[in-house]
Amino acid sequence: MKHATGFLAIVNDAKTRVREIDIPAYLEMQQAGTPHILIDTREQSEWAAGHIPGAIHLSKGIIERDIEAQVPDTGATLVLYCGGGYRSALAADNLQKMGYTNCISMDGGWRGWTERSLPVEK
């Protein structure tokens, strides 16, 4: 997908402050049993079409509004994903501004997950 220059600029800026994890490293994290909360930041229609097993849904449009009720522990490890890793980086950056100290954006996101034929839920 070709993204607008302004959008890419704010994503690249956010990525200077946000930790990222690729899918193989996330799978290692999962297999090791590292405690974390997986958050799908895509739109409701994207979530309904399929999502990574075990994820909760807090779309980019509402995550800042609803995160404190869903995840009150600001020290919890949060792994966020979207379609490819852009919206999740923006969301992770905002959550850090809200005091969440362990936010990670999944580089590759849903596209990378499905390209590897990994399990999905509907």
Active-site positions read 82
Q: Do 85 and 59 contact (CB within 8 A), yes or no? A: no
* CA-closest candidate to residue 57, choices 34, 32, 82: 82
- For 41, counting Cβ atoms within 10 Å of its Cβ (0-12 exposed, 13-18 middle, 19+ buried), the class is buried
